[in-house]
């Protein structure tokens, strides 16, 4: 029997964090690795692993790739495919805007025990968000916060009986 952490505590913790993030209304922009899709506009050269430099005659109807409509654009053989710039693949940026709060901004050892992550180094900040955003922070390429670019150093899930928050150390890019 768990007497100290009841489901009521769990619920309170859960709703408090969610409400706090909502009230603060501060957001970070998490940039993920781009999605790579084979270009529909040109024919693929499997040996060279790039565009063959020829228009795909079967591409007639515009298609939507990750929310972006791509229409057929025929091109002469002397030119590069205008859709993929001759790469054969289309790379699309993936970014996710998520709510956060700043946990601790400290470079001193006295505050080490305040965070489950440990000692912060110069230029590092701790941000807290909901556990459901863990996968974005964990898989991030970089993070934009207040116009400043950061890279994730570590991301962990934390909570009471089950993970509720994601705590992450971000390092300011030089
Ligand atoms: Zn192409």
61 sits in the region (left: phi over 0; alpha: psi -120 to 50; else beta) called beta
Cα 40 to middle of ligand 1, angstroms: 6
Domain segments of the chain as ranges: 7-32+95-172, 40-87
Please say whether the beta carbons of 117 and 169 come within 8 A.
Answer: yes
Give bridge partners of residue 155 from the DSSP assignment. 168
> Environment class of residue 167 by beta-carbon count within 10 Å: exposed (0-12), middle (13-18) or buried (19+)?
buried
87 CA to centre of ligand 1 in angstroms: 6
Distance CA 124, CA 171 (A): 4
Instruction: State the distance from the centre of ligand 1 to the C-alpha of 32, rounded, in angstroms.
Output: 23
> Whole-angstrom Cα distance, residue 111 to residue 107?
8
Q: What is the pLDDT of residue 10?
A: 86
Structure tokens, 56: 């795909």
Task: Divide the 174 residues of the chain into consecutive groups of 10 and give the mean pLDDT of each group.
Answer: 77 91 94 96 96 95 93 91 96 94 62 58 88 96 96 90 89 91
Q: Enumerate residues 6+ apart whose C-beta is below 8 A from 148.
A: 172, 173
Measured in angstroms, how far is the CA atom of residue 171 from the centroid of ligand 1?
37
User: What is the CA(42)–ligand 1 centre distance, in A?
Assistant: 4
Q: What is the distance in A from the centroid of ligand 1 to the CA of 14?
A: 47
Looking at residue 71, its pLDDT comes to 96
pLDDT at 95: 94
Q: How far is the CA of 56 from the centre of ligand 1 (A)?
A: 8
């Amino acid at each position: 029997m768990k007497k100290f952490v009841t489901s009521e505590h769990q619920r309170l913790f859960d709703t408090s964090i969610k409400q706090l993030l909502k009230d603060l209304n501060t957001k970070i922009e998490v940039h993920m690795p781009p999605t790579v899709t084979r270009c529909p506009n040109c024919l693929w050269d499997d040996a060279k692993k790039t565009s063959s430099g020829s228009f795909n005659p079967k591409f007639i109807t515009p298609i939507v790739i990750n929310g972006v409509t791509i229409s057929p654009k025929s091109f002469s053989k002397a030119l590069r495919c205008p859709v993929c710039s001759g790469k054969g693949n289309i790379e699309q940026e993936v970014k996710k805007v998520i709510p956060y709060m700043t946990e601790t901004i400290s470079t001193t050892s006295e505050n080490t025990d305040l965070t489950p992550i440990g000692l912060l180094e110069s230029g590092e900040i701790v941000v807290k968000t909901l556990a459901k955003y863990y996968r974005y922070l964990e898989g991030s390429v970089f993070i934009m916060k207040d116009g400043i670019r950061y890279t994730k150093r570590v991301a962990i899930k934390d909570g009471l009986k089950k993970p509720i928050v994601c705590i992450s150390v971000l390092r300011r890019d030089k």
